Chain A
Amino acid sequence: MNELWAALGKDLLLQWRTRTQAVAVFVFGAAALLLFSFASGPAAELLRRQAAGFLWLGLMLCSTLALADSFQSESEQRAMEALLLLPASARALYYGKALANWVQLALLGVALVPLMVVLYDAGTRRVVPLFGVILLGSAGLSAPGTLYAGMTAQMRARQTLLPLLLFPLVVPVLLSSVKATSLILTGDPMGQARSWTTLLAAFDLIYWSLCGVVFPKVVEE
C-alpha cells in the first residue's frame, strides 16, 4: 500500500510539474469540440442531441495525448526501470499512474463541460450525475489507456499505435458513457441512465482488475 501511495504521489507531482502540457491537451479538446460544432452545422436541436457524443469523442482524443505524455517522462531516462530496480512493484507503479491519469482525465472532462454547454446549448441541472458519469467514463479510459501507453512508450510509432490499440478496446466505455450522458442532458423518462451507468461501472471493474495483472508482464522485458 505504501508503494501505491509513493507511485501516486510521484505521478501527481509529475503532472503538476508538467502542467503546461495538460493545458495544451485541454486546448486541443476545446478545439475538437469547436470543430465538431462546425461540422454538424447550425441546427441547434441536432447539436444538443449529439452533445454527449461530441464531449466523449473530444475526451477520448485528448486522452491519447495525455496518456502518451504520462509515459514520456518514464522513458526519457528510463526512470520506471530505475524504480523497478529499487525494487518497486510494477503493479503499484501501474495503479499509481492509472489513478493519476484518471484524476487528469476526469478534470479534463469536467473542464470541457462548460464548453459543451456553450457550443451545443446542452445545459443541465443534473450536474452531480453528469460528473459521476464523467468520473466513471474517465476511469474506463484511464485503466486500459495506461496499460497501452506503457506498452507503446518505447516504440517509434507510439503516437499512432496508442489510439489504434486503445480505441477498439474502449468502445463499450464510449457507448455507455455517451448513452448515460445523453440521457442526463436530454431527459430520462424511462430511467435508463442507471442501467448504462451500471454497465459502465462493470467495465471499469473489469479493466482495472485485468490491466493491473497484465501490466507487470508488459514492463518487464
Chain B
Amino acid sequence: MPLGMAVETVGLGRRFGRRWALAEVTLTVARGQRVMLTGRNGSGKTTLLRVLASLLSPDRGSVRVCGGDVVQDREAVRHHVALLGHYSGHYEALTALQNLQVAARFLGQDASREAIRARLDQFGLAARADDAVSTFSAGMRKRLALARTMMQPATVVLLDEPYGELDVDGFALVDGLLESMRAEGRTVLMSTHLLERGRELCEHAVALEAGRLTWAGPSADMPQHSAWSERQRGAA
C-alpha cells in the first residue's frame, strides 16, 4: 500500500445472495482527502462504506484502511474509522445525554453531565438532553448520531448521507464539521446526492453505478452531463 493512503481497495466485490452489490471496485484515497461518493439508490454506496468500516467482509478482493486489512486487522482498523450510517445507533429508551455518556465511557472520555451537555449544545440538542431518543424527530436523531460519530478520534470518517433528514441549520452544521475535519487532517468519505454541495466541500469524487466504480477523480472534473447527474442537481 502506498504511503499516505487512508483507503485502498483492490478488486473489491461484495454480494448479498446472488446479487453483487459491489464488483471489481478498485479505489485509493490519500490521507487527509475529502471524497464525495455518488450514485443512484442501490448503486452500492452504503455497502462500500460498511465494508470500509469493517462491518461487512468483502467476498472478493482486498480492502485496507490506514494500512490495516478490514478482515485480518478488524480491531486495529476500527480504532481509525468512524461511521455515520443510516441507522442512528442509539438506544431508544435512553435519553440523548445517556446515549452519549455510554459512548464516552467506552471511549474512555469524560462522561460527566457537563461535558456531554456541552457536546449536545454544539449539535443543537442541549434543550432535549434529558428526553428519551424515542421522542426525537429524524433530524434530531441524525444530529445525535453526528455528535457520537464526532466523539471518536478517528482518522478516517465515513459519512453515509450526512445531510439526510436535516434542516437548513443542520446543513450548516455538517458543512462546519467537514471544514473542521479538513483542518484536523482527517480523511472523509461522504456519500451524498447533493452534487453541487459535495463538489464544493470535497476535492475528490467517486461515482458508482450498479456496484461498479464508473468514475473517480477531482470533483471539479466530474462529468456533469449524464442524465442521472442532471436529475440530482435538479432535486438538490
Instruction: Spell out A's residues near B (CB within 8 Å).
Output: 2-3, 5-7, 9-10, 13-14, 17-18, 73, 76-79, 81-88, 220-221
Q: How large is the interface on B (under 10, 10 to 19, 20 to 34, 35 or more residues)?
A: 20 to 34
Report the minimal beta-carbon distance from B75 to chain A, rounded to whole angstroms: 6
Check A82 against B78 for contact (C-beta < 8 Å). no
Check B107 against A86 for contact (C-beta < 8 Å). yes
- Complex: how many Å from CA A82 to CA B88? 8
Check A78 against B75 for contact (C-beta < 8 Å). no
Report the minimal beta-carbon distance from A49 to chain B, rounded to whole angstroms: 42
List chain A residues, Cβ under 8 A from B108: 2
Instruction: Spell out B's residues near A (CB within 8 Å).
Output: 53-57, 74-75, 78-79, 81-83, 85, 87-94, 98, 102-103, 105-108, 132, 148, 152
User: Taking each of A3, A5, A78, A86, which has the highest tally of chain B beta carbons within 10 Å of its own beta carbon?
Assistant: A86
Report the minimal beta-carbon distance from B145 to chain A, rounded to whole angstroms: 8
Check A13 against B94 for contact (C-beta < 8 Å). yes
Check B89 against A221 for contact (C-beta < 8 Å). no
Check A79 against B89 for contact (C-beta < 8 Å). yes
Check B94 against A87 for contact (C-beta < 8 Å). no
List chain B residues, Cβ under 8 A from A73: 91-93
Other than the known A2-B105, A77-B92, A81-B87, what 8 A-B pairs have Cβ atoms closer than 8 Å? A3-B106, A14-B94, A73-B92, A79-B90, A82-B89, A84-B78, A85-B53, A85-B81
List chain A residues, Cβ under 8 A from B103: 82-83, 86
- Complex: how many Å from CA A180 to CA B229? 71
Check B57 against A221 for contact (C-beta < 8 Å). yes
Our pick among A17, A85, A88, A221 for the contact of B82 (Cβ within 8 Å) is: A85
Q: Specify the chain B residue showing the minimal Cβ separation from A88.
A: B106
Say yes or no: A85-B98 contact (C-beta < 8 A), given A77-B92, A78-B85. Answer: no
- Complex: how many Å from CA A10 to CA B81? 23
Report the minimal beta-carbon distance from A15 to chain B, rounded to whole angstroms: 10
Check B107 against A77 for contact (C-beta < 8 Å). no
User: Taking each of A9, A83, A87, A220, which has the highest tally of chain B beta carbons within 10 Å of its own beta carbon?
Assistant: A87
Check B89 against A81 for contact (C-beta < 8 Å). yes
